């Protein structure tokens, strides 16, 4: 058992949601430093852990043989005492039993498995729940924006297969992820030049609903992009309009996910979920406007990658510099947690139009190699 003093965290700090929890326990597992978190999701209704949060905590606890107290639905306090990361590659499963986000289950577990001392085959995750959930990254964003960022800028190569889509309220989606382990440390990230948008890709989808809804979302998003004033031509836009086969999805749902790539290799996302009683044209425009907003500020990452990259910058060796749009509350929270749990140091130069995030990372290496050194 680790003898380090636990880090005490107020879970209501800044954004005060599940992200604070995910980053804290992910870093705790890696550096073998206990964390105690209270006031979890204190301002949410209802407060405390939901099924998805508890499933993620149990998964990370399994990954590092942690002693975990307070992991019940509704709990507002947890104590997480990690032991060690697994010494061989393994297959893991997590299932909240609801439509809770699969993308968020991956977020909390990925850093641990990347640094697992696994000289053989990659570790694998079978994650169940919602593939396209509210208040969370759609799995298409994870596949087409988040994972390409890890490959291009950090040399990581997890692969993701969507086995079955799962929609609210049933969930039931399945995603398989293969995660090759690395010795570490991660390289620093320098990302300050964006370039012009060269392509926009996307997926407009329905399950258990008429395909015409997907076509309407696609057309509306395309119109917004072409009229944005960002120089995006219709010829550079390719959005697939899809009606899911019944065997490939659980429940009914609809939505659209867009991703744009620039000449310098930056990727930005925008998305929207269909809702009962909401015109699909409105949904398509909503996704198009979100992508346009993420492109208009001149930064090199979108508002979601802005906070998702923080844990990796903290773990990297050396000085990272990333130009972003305006700093989000989620990003401020991610930085706060990373500095509380690790010795990483962040600096933010903010302006009305955007920010530059700098980080001196801790140069994390695989535990067995750190002991040998």
Tens-place pLDDT, residues 4-52:
789 999 999 999 999 999 999 999 999 999 999 999 999 999 999 999 9
Query: For residues 81 and 2, what is the distance between their CA atoms, to the nearest angstrom?
Result: 7
Does 141 appear as a known binding residue? no
* pLDDT reported for residue 161: 98
Tens of pLDDT, residues 315-371: 999 999 999 999 999 999 999 999 999 999 999 999 888 999 999 999 999 877 766
Q: Are 297 and 353 in contact (CB under 8 A)?
A: yes
**Taking 70 as the threshold, does the pLDDT of residue 3 lie above it?**
no
Lowest mean pLDDT segment, chosen from 9-13, 168-172, 290-294, 331-335 = 168-172
All structural domains of the chain, each given as residue ranges with its CATH number in brackets, are: 1-84 (3.30.110), 89-182 (3.65.10.20), 197-296 (3.30.360.20)
Query: For residues 50 and 74, what is the distance between their CA atoms, to the nearest angstrom?
Result: 6
Does 217 appear as a known binding residue? no
* pLDDT reported for residue 88: 57
Indicate the helix (H) or strand (E) that contains 217. Answer: helix 211-226
Cα angle: 314, vertex 159, 328; to 5 degrees: 40
**Taking 80 as the threshold, does the pLDDT of residue 111 lie above it?**
yes
Full-prediction pTM beyond 0.75? yes
- Cα→Cα distances 165→177, 241, 251, Å: 15, 16, 9
Confidence at 1, pLDDT banded by 50, 70, 90? very low
Tens of pLDDT, residues 253-283: 999 999 999 999 999 999 999 999 999 999 9
The 10 Å Cβ neighbour count of residue 258 is: 32
The residues, ordered by sequence, that sit 6+ positions from 229 with a Cβ below 8 Å of its Cβ are none
Does 308 appear as a known binding residue? yes
> Cα–chain-centroid distance for residue 57?
16
* Phi, psi values for residue 265, rounded to 5°: 85, 15
- What single-letter DSSP state applies at residue 130? B
Q: Of 372, 371, 331, 373, whose CA–CA distance to 354 is shortest?
A: 331
Does 305 appear as a known binding residue? yes
**Taking 80 as the threshold, does the pLDDT of residue 294 lie above it?**
yes
Annotated active-site positions, please? 330
């Amino acid at each position: 058992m680790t003898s380090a003093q636990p880090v005490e965290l107020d879970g209501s700090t800044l954004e005060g949601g599940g992200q604070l929890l995910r980053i804290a326990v992910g870093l705790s597992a890696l550096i073998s430093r206990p964390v105690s978190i209270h006031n979890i999701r204190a301002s949410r209704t209802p407060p405390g852990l939901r099924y998805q949060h508890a499933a993620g905590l149990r998964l990370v606890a399994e990954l590092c043989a942690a002693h975990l107290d307070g992991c019940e639905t509704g709990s507002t306090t947890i104590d997480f005492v990690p032991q060690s990361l697994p010494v061989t590659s393994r297959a893991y499963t997590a299932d909240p039993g609801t439509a809770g986000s699969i993308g968020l289950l991956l977020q909390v577990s990925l850093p641990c498995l990347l640094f697992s001392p696994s000289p053989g085959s990659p570790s694998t995750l079978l994650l169940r729940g919602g593939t396209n959930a509210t208040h969370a990254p759609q799995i298409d964003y994870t596949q087409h924006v988040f994972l390409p960022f890890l490959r291009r800028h950090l040399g990581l190569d997890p692969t993701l297969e969507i086995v079955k889509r799962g929609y609210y309220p049933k969930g039931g989606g399945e995603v398989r992820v293969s995660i090759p382990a690395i010795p570490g440390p991660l390289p620093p990230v320098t990302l300050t030049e964006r370039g012009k948008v060269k392509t926009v890709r996307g997926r407009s989808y329905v399950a258990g609903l008429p395909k015409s809804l997907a076509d309407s979302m696609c057309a509306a998003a395309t119109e917004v992009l072409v009229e944005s004033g960002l120089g995006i031509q219709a010829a550079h836009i390719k959005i697939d309009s899809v009606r899911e086969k019944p065997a490939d999805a659980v429940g009914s749902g609809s939505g659209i996910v867009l991703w744009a790539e620039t000449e310098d290799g930056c990727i930005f996302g925008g998305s929207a979920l269909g809702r009962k009683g909401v015109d699909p044209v409105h949904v398509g425009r909503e996704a198009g406007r979100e992508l346009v907003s993420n492109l208009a500020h001149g930064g090199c990452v979108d508002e979601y990658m802005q906070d998702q990259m923080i844990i990796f910058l903290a773990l990297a060796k050396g000085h990272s510099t990333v130009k972003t749009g305006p700093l989000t509350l989620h990003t401020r929270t991610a930085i706060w947690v990373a500095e509380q749990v690790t010795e990483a140091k962040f600096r933010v130069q903010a302006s009305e139009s955007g920010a530059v995030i700098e980080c001196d990372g801790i140069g994390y290496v695989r535990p067995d190699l750190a002991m040998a050194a």
